[in-house]
Amino acid sequence: MSSSGTPDFNRRGIMKKSILIVLASIFLSYPISLMGADFDTPHNFSCGDTISADMMNEIFDYIKLSKTVILSSDLVGTWSCKVSVSYSNTHDPGWTDDSDNLSSKLTSELTFSADGDGTYSYQSSAPNPFYSHDDRAIASGKKYIVTSNSFYAKIPRKQNAEDGGEIQPDGKIVYSLSKISKNSYVFLKLTIESGYNPDSLICDKQNLPPNPPSSLTSDNSSSSITLTWTDSQTEAVTGYKVIRKTENTDNFTLVYTNTDNTTRTYADDNVSTGGTYWYRVRAYNSNGDGTPSMLIGPVQR
């Protein structure tokens, strides 16, 4: 009993409830859209699971990432974009009309580049996805900036054929820019330059690091701990890296790298009898290291 006459276990119960309420309010304070794709991690939790500090930190990293202001440099790379524009009889060839003649659709590729002098530019496949009436092959070297999560860019233009088809000065476009998942952005039109600017672009990053390996398991022998995993890639894989830690509060260290993407097993013989270990595996390729696999551990030797 405490001096106030309230049982200590009651106080502990109240404190636990308070902590849960605070955590719930934090999660609920974020938009519902963040609860889906932006929390895409290699982890699946079931009732009764214990969530490690590593996993919680990873989830909070995803939250912070989703709330980060988008910069011009964040777009650098190649993107495949699904583009739609309000229906028009005069859009450029390459666009297809939907069955209700309400809009035209196109899948296009955009490459954003850092120019090296603090400016940024983009080029597109044909036709230019930012201007549906432009029948020149590509937009190349056109400047863009991102500020306050708005995308500003120049676009090449060509006048209507009935007006002589003369090349016109570059136009300007403004789109709002937001993340709909870790590697996907949506552009929504804010201004109308000439009526031919697409209403929206949904762009997916290309040339990504690999997806995390799946089904990581361990098997103990008299001299080692053997890990086995499954390939779950949509991207090309060069090889795999195994990371390990010996205390749940430690940082992971690299213990094994291979350059054979068909080898999906590793025998860790640098272990001690009675030792406890945690493991994760990540795939890598020329675009970098992928997200690590689900944590396995503690594994006791």
Least confident interval from 4-13, 35-44, 179-188, 210-219: 35-44
Q: How far is CA 255 from the centre of its chain?
A: 27
pLDDT of 92 above 80: no
Q: Is residue 271 part of a domain?
A: yes
* pLDDT, greater one: 34 or 204: 204
User: What does the pLDDT read at residue 96?
Assistant: 80
Q: Which whole number is the average pLDDT over 13-26?
A: 52
32 and 86 share one domain: no
**Residues 170 and 254 grouped into a single domain:** no
Calpha distance 203→280 (Å, rounded) = 30
DSSP for residue 207: S
* Displacement of CA 47 from its chain's centroid (Å): 27
pLDDT in tens, 228-247: 999 866 668 999 999 999 98
Q: 1 in a domain, yes or no?
A: no
* 173 and 158 share one domain: yes
Q: Are residues 170 and 84 part of one domain? A: yes
Q: How confident is the model at residue 205 (pLDDT cuts 50, 70, 90)?
A: very high
pLDDT at 37: 39
Do 104 and 197 belong to one domain?
yes
Dihedral, 158, 161, 162, 167 alpha carbons, nearest 10: 30
Looking up tokens 């309000």 gives 86
Looking up residue 118, the CATH number of its domain turns out to be 2.40.128
Last-in-domain residue among 186, 205, 224: 205
pLDDT over 50 at 152, yes or no: yes
Residue 194 · residue 210 · CB < 8 Å: no
In a domain, 249, yes or no: yes
Say yes or no: 37 and 158 in one domain: no
Domain assignment present for 297: yes
Is the pLDDT at 79 greater than 90, yes or no? yes
State the residue range of the domain holding 142: 72-205
Cα–Cα nearest to 120, from 150, 156, 75, 155? 75
Ramachandran angles phi, psi of 12, nearest 5°? -65, -40
- Looking at the structure, do residues 198 and 257 belong to the same domain, yes or no? no
112-132: average pLDDT = 88
Domain match, 250 and 177 both: no
Q: What is the total count of domains within the chain?
A: 3
Residues 114, 33 share a domain: no
| In the chain, alpha helices (H) | 8-28, 53-67
Q: Are residues 58 and 89 in the same domain?
A: no
- If one counts every other C-beta atom within 10 angstroms of the C-beta of residue 165, the result is 10
In angstroms, the CA 54 to CA 294 distance is 11
Q: Which of 27-36, 63-72, 78-87, 181-190 has the lowest mean pLDDT?
A: 27-36
Residue ending a domain, choose from 165, 187, 205:
205
Q: Across residues 245-257, what is the average pLDDT?
A: 88
Residue 284 pLDDT > 90, yes or no?
yes
In tens, the pLDDT along 55-68 reads 677 677 666 655 66
**Which pair of tokens denotes residue 293?**
């696999």
* Distance, CA of 275 to CA of 268 (rounded, Å): 12
Class of residue 112 by CB neighbours under 10 A (exposed 0-12, middle 13-18, buried 19+) = buried
The residues facing 241 across adjacent strands are: 257, 282
Q: What is the mean pLDDT of residues 39-61?
A: 66
Is residue 139 assigned to a domain?
yes
Read off the DSSP letter of residue 164. Answer: T
The reported pLDDT for the residue numbered 77 is 92
| Residue 2 within a domain | no
Measured on CA atoms in the order 53, 58, 60, 64, is the torsion positive or negative?
positive
End-to-end alpha carbon distance in the chain: 43
